[in-house]
Amino acid sequence: MDFQKQNFNGAIMRRLSWSTFLLLIIVLVLLSLQITSRTVYPIRFKSGLSETDSDVSGDSGSCVGFFEELLPKRGVVMSIEDFGGVGDGTTSNTETFRKAIGHMQRFGDKGGSQLNVPKGSWLTGSFNLTSNFTLFLEEGAVILGSQDPKEWPIIEPLPSYGRGRERLGGRHISLIHGNGLTNVVITGNNGTVDGQGKMWWELWWNRTLDYTRGHLVEVMNSENILISNLTFRNSPFWTIHPVYCSNVVVKDMTILAPLNAPNTDGVDPDSSTNVCVEDCYIESGDDLVAVKSGWDQYGIKMARPSSNIIVRRVSGTTPTCSGVGIGSEMSGGIFNVMIEAVHIWDSAAGVRIKTDEGRGGYIANITINNITMERVKIPIRFSRGSNDHPDEEWDPKALPIVKGVRISNVVSLNSTKAPVLLGIKNSPFSDICMKNVTLIGLTSSASWHCEFVTGFANKVLPVPCPQLQNNVSASGC
């Protein structure tokens, strides 16, 4: 499948009828009026960012303040070829990568190290990173994931999940993995990491998986992580998964998977704090970005929330899932999330909050601002009732709390359904505020579907459901 970034304005202008052209002009006028508004709850980081960086309510913000140097100069720089690597696309370099990083680990307290991957196709199984380390893919460099499942070893399940996400027991390690690390950079001159995930997707489709599929990149229990300026393709499972981490930036990335590839999320911050995903283009078979924090009783027990999460200037498409999702695994809690300047098209949902009975935990202080959508089936969706649990020990009385969701400056073109906001009967979603939300192109029969939610709306078209028409506090929305 040929993946190319879309030039929306140019493509639209070539095929629009005059009537649609006028509609586009209306949208541009609405956007010009809306983008001047500022969000209500700018995130203030407790650490990791400077005071000027921490106010993320403006589109010009950046998260590079996580790092004293965007690309730190390392004391030792070597090439994978120095260790006997062969970039012919068929020779296995698994032991070569492991040997190279094992060697470079000794320089962690001597200025750190950098491993360069030159032009070529470098076939490898999973390998582990080290601290104070840069993995640098030069222009034309492609790291290819091995097609031998034995080269993706089995590791323990995450404690906040209690089992593999797809199968009981352990899970395959990610292609590029790190645990307990600090000061790690994965970057390059737009080199590529290709997980060659088709083999894994077929195991899923055929229901012959023995263990949960591996990610393309997973960092655990780590801090000060930068992933930038690369193309990631064809992950077996979620593409980038920081879990139990802090100070993580994913920036200027292109993340691609076939649109029918199962569970190939783009970026999944999970039980992590101070995470920024910005200036990325994503095509996938699942959520472009999904914020998570553990699964039912295991996430409740661990109680490790995701907090201070920024998703900014992300664009892309996913025909089956969401542009940005929160949950459904959110049992450790999720708070202080800023989603802004996001562009989504040809997708099942725009922004979505997903939870269920048994999840427990909470979702609070979510700010969604300046979102543009085209041909998104359901632009705003709160959902429940997936009946998706790790085992029989989940507690149906563990009800999630969802409170404080601010949605502003949204324009959706040609959605097929009005927003769907479904809370939970004995735990209604409260303090939902919408302002400057315009949905253009809905049929006259399309109406909002709301249950067990309360909140306010101001300048929302078409008129929202009665649960959001309490205008007493709408001015503060």
**Residues marked as catalytic:** 286
Bridge partners of residue 135, in order along the sequence:
115, 186
Identify the DSSP state of 24: H
Q: Please, how many CA atoms are within 13 Å of residue 13, restricted to the half-sphere of its CB?
A: 5
Residue 318 to residue 321: CA distance in whole angstroms: 6
Residue 162 to residue 194: CA distance in whole angstroms: 29
Element containing residue 303 per DSSP (H, E): none
Residue 304 to residue 291: CA distance in whole angstroms: 13
**Residue 32 dihedral angles phi and psi, to the nearest 5°:** -65, -30
Which value, to the nearest 10 degrees, does the dihedral of the CA atoms of residues 436, 437, 440, 443 take?
A: -130
Residue 378 to residue 352: CA distance in whole angstroms: 9
Residue (of 239, 248, 227, 231) closest to 45 by Cα position: 248
CB 447 within 8 A of CB 419: no
Phi-psi category of residue 296: left, alpha or beta, with phi > 0 → left and psi -120 to 50 → alpha: left
* Three-class DSSP category at 106: helix
Q: Please, how many CA atoms are within 13 Å of residue 235, restricted to the half-sphere of its CB?
A: 35
Phi-psi category of residue 111: left, alpha or beta, with phi > 0 → left and psi -120 to 50 → alpha: left
Residue (of 64, 39, 38, 69) closest to 50 by Cα position: 64
Q: What share of the chain is helix, strand, coil (3-state, %, to 5)?
A: 15, 40, 45
Which residues are CB-contacts of 376 (< 8 A; sequence separation ≥ 6)?
Answer: 323, 344, 345, 346, 347, 348, 349, 350, 412, 415
> Two tokens at 48?
């990791």
Q: How many helices (H) and strands (E) does the chain have?
A: 6, 31
Q: Tokens 């959520």 belong to which residue?
A: 287
Element containing residue 9 per DSSP (H, E): helix 8-15
